[in-house]
Structures are given as C-alpha cells and as structure tokens.
Chain A
Amino acid sequence: MNVVVCVKQIPDPAAPQSLDSGSYNLNRSGKLILDEADTYGVEMALQLTEKAGGGEVTVVSMGSAADLTGIRNALAMGAASAVVVSDDSLRGSDALGTAKVLAAAIGRTQYDLILCATESSDGYTGTLPVQLAEILGLPSVTFAKSVSVEGGQLSVQRQTEAGYDDVVCPLPAVVSVTAGVVEPRYASFKGIMAAKSKPVDQPTAADLGVAAGAANAGQKIVTVEAAEARQAGEKHVDDGDGADKIVAFLESIKVL
C-alpha cells in the first residue's frame, strides 16, 4: 500500500510569530521545522505500510526549499521520498490554491491513501484535506483518531462534538488525522543518515501546470490590529490559602 502524507514546514511555534508588513504573510525567514501535527500522519503512514507488508510513504509539501530540515526529518522517520513544490509565484496562496498545487503534485505519484493533519499549526485554516479530496474526486474522512485498513477498506474513528463515529470508506481516500492518533517515532541515526540520500523532487508550479499565489487567492488581509487586551488581575502565591482566595472570588462574582 502506498501512502502520501501532506506535510508543511513551519516557523517554530515556540518562537515569537510575526507577520510581514505589507503582505501580511507569516514571517518565515527564520528556521523552519516539520509541523508537529504532520508527524502523526507520517507515523500513521509508516505503520499502515508496514502492516500491509509493502509499499512506500511519500511526503508532499509546498513551500520554500531553501531549508529542507523538516522534510529530511520525515524522510529520516522512514518516508521513502519527498516532493516539494517550491516556487516564488506560490507565496501568499490560500488553502484552495495550496490544495490545487498539492493535488497536481500528488497526481504524479502512486497512492492508495492520502494522509493530512487536521490543520497546520501556523495557518490553521483546516480546509485543505477536504479541498484536496474534492479536487482529486476522492472521499474524505476528517478528524480521524484511529485508522485501520482491511481488504482495501478504511475503518476510521472520527471525532464528533459528542464523541466519535465509526466510519468506513473505500480506498483511495483522503484522511486527516488528529494529534495523538499514534506516537510518532524518533528518527534513528541510521534513518537520519539514509534520509540524506533519499530523493526530493522539486517541481515548479509551471512543471505542474497550476497557478496559485497571492494574485489568485481571492482574499486579502486589509488590517491587523491588537485585540482588546484582557487585563491580568490579582496574582497570588499559594501559601495554603489559594483555595480560600478562589472561594472568595467565586462569591464576589456570585457563582457561589
């Protein structure tokens, strides 16, 4: 079974985030890492191919290829190859534009299943997996907290507001997986060494015959302003009286 995993390299969420002035694009000039949300899809793909007794995992991404550390990380975990669509004309793409680009890139690979995170940790639009499925004419199951494949059919536990649903779906399909669905493995030393020589295809938008980027986005950011700030209130170091303080506060707001 061949599995494609859509991944994204993002600025380290632990570092302060900012927008470029003018374009309002997220500032990506610093170090980029593999979005942690994507490591679950990579792990799931590796487990599914291992269980199927064969097949390859391909990671597909759109973004700058100047720093491929995050992509190499996915390869070091065990993915066989990567496709990174890197093209300055794609900067400022919206989720639909990105989905078109990824669909075109995925169209050049062999796949039975496409895995995505539910949303990226930097843009968190959260529509890409389904847009991708629609463009490719595939069914989709989003917010999967458990995924198994038996006889060419997917069985998924899909999160709902109240709990979860059991969902079945034929392959090929697109599935978005939640964080925590599996425990991502750490890359071994051997894996890290092997990743250095694994193929990373880098097509341009023209190679794929798609146009995206800010000019095609259908939206623009007009302003960014500071939100009304909440003021920090009293901060009290617990000295055995923390619970009393809370009770008094709850009384003051008439909850007690």
Chain B
Amino acid sequence: MAISSIWVVAEPADGSFTTTSLELLTQARTFGATITAITWGGQAASLAAIAGEYGATTLFDAGDLGGALAGAPVAGAIASLVASQGAPDLILIPTSYDGRDIAGRLSAKLDRTVLTNVTGVADDGGIVTEHPIFGGTQIAKAQFTGAAPALVVVRAKSFVAESAGGAPAAVQSASSGDLGATNSAKITGTHVEEQEGPKLEEAAVVVSGGRGLGEASAYSLVADAAKLLNGAAGASRAIVDAGWVPYSFQVGQTGKTVKPTVYIACGISGATQHMVGMKGSKNIVAINKDPEAPIFQIADLGIVGDVHKVLPALIEKLKSR
C-alpha cells in the first residue's frame, strides 16, 4: 500500500510550531505523499509560510479555541475533515500534553487504534512504527491492521527538523462540529515555571538530579553546575513527584526527551522511565554512590561516589576556569 496522504497535527507555540511538529512535517516528506497540516490558536495565517517551508501544501485551521483545552475541539475538527475529505493514510501527532489529548479523542471518534511512544515510522508494506520498550533496551515494531487513518503519536527528537523551502501552505478553516459537554474544560490561568538560560529540550549540556541528592536543598548543586556549563537543569521523576522541582524539569517517559552533547546524571539510578528520555544523549556522565546503578551501563564516564562531594568539587573547578 502506497502512502499518498499524510496529515500532521502542528501544535502552535511562540509564533511558530513546536519543534516536534516541525520534526513530524520533515519526516512526512520522506514518504513522497501529500502533506496537510492542522493547527489552531488563531494565528494560522501567519503560520502558513512555516507550514509550507516544511512541506505542507494545505494548513487547516481549527481557529481560536476560546480558552478550551485543545483535545476535544482539535480532534473534532480533524474528525470533521476525515468525514468531508476522506481519511488520510496516516495522521502524525506530536507527543505533548495536548497532542496526547487530541490523539485519544480522535481515536475514539474515528474508532481507530492509536500507537504512542513512537520513535520511527516507515512504509514497509503498510505503516510500521517503532517503539522503544523496557527502558529502550528493545525496539518493538508494530503494524496497523485496521482501516485508515493510522494514528501515530511520535516522541520528541525522533527525527531532525529541516526546512525544504516550499511555498506557503493554503490556509483553510476547519470546523469542530458539535462537541457537546466534551468541550467544557477551560483554561483560566497560565503559569510559567521554566528556568533561566537555555531550554531543557534544546540545551547542549543538561545536568540532572535524582533521589541520590538526598534532600530538596541539594538540588541547588545541580542548578549551579548547569548554570556554570551554560546548560539546563533537569530532574528524575522521583524528585519531581516529591515536589523538589516543577514538572517542567522532568526528563523521561512522562517528561521531556533530551539529546544534549552531554548529559550529567547526578544521583540518578537510571530507572527505565528515565532512560527513555535521555538515552539519545551524545555523551553521558553519571555520578552515583551505588556501583551497580543501571545508569552506569550507559554512561561514557561513571563516577562511583557521593554527589555531595563530587558536585561541589566540580562547581569549584568550573568557577575557577
């Protein structure tokens, strides 16, 4: 089966699309199919150029959502488009909080299965997806067996975003139809908890802390080291759940995927949950008291030692440079 039509859910962010959305548009081009993007948020006209540059010929606009969470109205718009235009072979959706909501709603609306945590998509006599399992130690490949569209939710940084210099996409509006009660969750306030300096997902250096830090106050060591290296500070799920740092710092399965030049794991044992989010780093340094900690199996440099001694010493050395 040749793949002739691909739709990409293009999530708006800061006057463009999220990086993951651009990665999906780039990957969609490899199939030689017609690419259609779907966005929302009321800025579609100014996004048509970017959508086109990355290969979309049409940009459907679900419009300003009026403060509603994106899941129901965007899935509604896509389902209406499937009804009016016919189903594409494949719909690519970025892994994000809203992306997962859209995917879940759409799956139920269209009665189609949805595959998540995808890190690769290929046409191999049908759509085949790759999924890292068991902390990324194994790769499962799955094939869709039902009718189109195949719904695929792709993890960040699975592909590299590259512009192809195409002409602006033609913007068309897409109506969500009657959503009833499903559209009644509304955003009343927005809070930003991001750190100063480079973004966690984009930083060349990431210094992350885990439970081995012992207490919340010790996280300042991680933050200081990150700052001195012009990097970003990250965290394992354990200390995010414990409330030491905000969720936006979390690296891993439910958090962010990072692929920095170097990832420095401090007091992180290396739960599978965490490894999925940082295994793709170019270099990995680990500091941990337990010589058997799984993180050492993937570390290029492992320091078996106390983070409370090694990190202050590292900070002093960095300061004196």
Nearest chain A CB to B105's CB is how many angstroms away? 5
Nearest chain A CB to B294's CB is how many angstroms away? 10
Please report whether the interface of chain B is mostly helix, strand, loop or mixed according to DSSP.
Answer: mixed
Q: Is B46 an interface residue (CB 8 A)?
A: no
| A249 proximity list for chain B (CB < 8 A) | 283, 285, 300-301
Residue of B186, B188, B192 with most partner-chain A CB within 10 A: B186
B133 engages A224 (CB within 8 Å): yes
| A118 proximity list for chain B (CB < 8 A) | 254
Q: Is A158 an interface residue (CB 8 A)?
A: yes
Q: Interface residue count for B (Cβ, 8 Å)? A: 96
Stretch at the interface among A45-53, A61-69, A233-241: A233-241
Complex partner residue of B194 from A99, A162, A219, CB under 8 angstroms: A162
Q: Is B139 an interface residue (CB 8 A)?
A: yes
Contact residues, B179-196 vs A (CB, 8 A): 180-194
B185 engages A131 (CB within 8 Å): no
A238 engages B310 (CB within 8 Å): yes
A159 engages B97 (CB within 8 Å): yes
Complex-state Cα separation, A119 to B141, whole angstroms? 20
Asked whether A133 and B182 contact (CB < 8 A) given A234-B301, A242-B305, the answer is yes
Chain A interface size, as a band, is 35 or more
Contact residues, B196-247 vs A (CB, 8 A): 204-205, 229, 237, 240-243, 246-247
| A126 proximity list for chain B (CB < 8 A) | 100, 116-117, 254
Complex partner residue of A253 from B194, B261, B291, B304, CB under 8 angstroms: B261
Asked whether A167 and B142 contact (CB < 8 A) given A134-B109, A142-B97, the answer is no
Complex-state Cα separation, A230 to B263, whole angstroms? 14
Number of A-B residue pairs having CB atoms within 8 Å of each other in the complex: 270
Complex-state Cα separation, A217 to B304, whole angstroms? 46
Q: Is B81 an interface residue (CB 8 A)?
A: no
Please report whether the interface of chain A is mostly helix, strand, loop or mixed according to DSSP.
Answer: mixed
A219 engages B279 (CB within 8 Å): no
B304 engages A236 (CB within 8 Å): yes
Residue of A nearest to B304 (CB): A237
Interface string of B274-315 (1 = CB under 8 A from A): 000001001111010001000011111111111001100110
| B36 proximity list for chain A (CB < 8 A) | none
B100 engages A227 (CB within 8 Å): no
Nearest chain A CB to B25's CB is how many angstroms away? 19
Interface string of A144-173 (1 = CB under 8 A from B): 010000000000001111111111111001
B72 engages A235 (CB within 8 Å): no
B304 engages A238 (CB within 8 Å): yes
Q: Is A206 an interface residue (CB 8 A)?
A: no
Interface string of A122-142 (1 = CB under 8 A from B): 001111111101110111111
Residue of A17, A165, A170, A219 with most partner-chain B CB within 10 A: A219
A159 engages B141 (CB within 8 Å): no
B302 engages A235 (CB within 8 Å): yes
Residue of A19, A130, A256 with most partner-chain B CB within 10 A: A130
Q: Is A15 an interface residue (CB 8 A)?
A: no
Stretch at the interface among B2-10, B53-61, B143-151, B160-168: B143-151
A162 engages B303 (CB within 8 Å): no
Residue of A nearest to B13 (CB): A161
A160 engages B302 (CB within 8 Å): no
B137 engages A227 (CB within 8 Å): yes
Nearest chain A CB to B69's CB is how many angstroms away? 7
Complex-state Cα separation, A138 to B241, whole angstroms? 28
B189 engages A170 (CB within 8 Å): no
Q: Is A20 an interface residue (CB 8 A)?
A: no
Complex-state Cα separation, A232 to B296, whole angstroms? 6
Complex-state Cα separation, A162 to B14, whole angstroms? 12
A173 engages B301 (CB within 8 Å): no
| A145 proximity list for chain B (CB < 8 A) | 247
A170 engages B146 (CB within 8 Å): no
Residue of B nearest to A237 (CB): B304
Asked whether A218 and B71 contact (CB < 8 A) given A134-B105, A242-B305, A243-B314, the answer is no
Interface string of A210-228 (1 = CB under 8 A from B): 0000000111111111110
| B132 proximity list for chain A (CB < 8 A) | 227
Contact residues, B89-107 vs A (CB, 8 A): 96-97, 100-101, 103-105, 107
Q: Can you identify 6 A-B contacts, CB atoms within 8 angstroms?
A: A164-B247, A233-B302, A243-B314, A246-B287, A247-B314, A256-B229
